[in-house]
């Protein structure tokens, strides 16, 4: 009986830990991570000031992730003109992010989440033995207004996020 109770408690804890991905209408969780320049980025300092485009990607310098980052880079002025800030997050080190940012001249913030704590807060799941690839747009009230997941279509993340923001401005 005691073993059955322990199994049930463990199952319930796992179910709660396996939180679903944040959905449209959910409030963005508060978080703090270190950026590619070694500075602490606190989400509270940015909520309400700009639309936030937060994209989670598996690895610096990988093929699809590089296409995704360069797509956000190439659309950066359009995002900025629309009042949005782009933020990339993965488990890479600050040094890896710095090198990636410099190599591809990325004009936006890259945050290091070495323990995948922010991945978990957003409910981003691992795919194909890698951390997931998902993009969220957070409005000025701190609410998720757009969520997109496509593991192998990195460029589409920037394209669809920008199209969504432009459509909201009309």
Q: What does the DSSP assignment read for 53-102? A: EEEE-S-TT-HHHHHHHHHHHHTHHHHHHTTEEEEEEES--HHHHHHHHH
What's the half-sphere exposure (Cβ side, CA atoms, 13 Å) at 24? 6
Is residue 70 flagged as an active site residue? Answer: no
Strands 144-149 and 51-56: unpaired
Q: List the catalytic residue out of 65, 91, 144, 161.
A: 65
Q: Which residues pair with 130 in a beta bridge?
A: 127
- Residues catalogued as catalytic: 65
């Amino acid at each position: 009986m005691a073993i059955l109770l322990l199994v049930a408690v463990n199952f319930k804890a796992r179910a709660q830990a396996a939180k679903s991905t944040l959905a449209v209408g959910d409030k963005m969780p508060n978080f703090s991570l270190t950026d590619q320049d070694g500075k602490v980025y606190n989400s509270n300092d940015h909520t309400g000031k700009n639309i936030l485009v937060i994209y989670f990607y598996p690895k610096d310098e990988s093929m699809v992730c590089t296409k995704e980052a360069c797509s956000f880079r190439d659309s950066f002025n359009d995002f900025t003109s629309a009042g949005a800030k782009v933020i990339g997050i993965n488990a890479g080190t600050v040094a890896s992010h710095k090198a990636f940012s410099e190599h591809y001249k990325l004009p936006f913030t890259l945050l290091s989440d070495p323990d995948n704590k922010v991945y978990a807060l957003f409910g981003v799941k691992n795919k194909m033995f890698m951390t997931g690839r998902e993009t969220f747009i957070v409005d000025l009230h701190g609410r998720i207004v757009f969520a997109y997941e496509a593991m192998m279509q990195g460029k589409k993340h920037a394209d669809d996020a920008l199209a969504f923001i432009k459509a909201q401005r009309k």
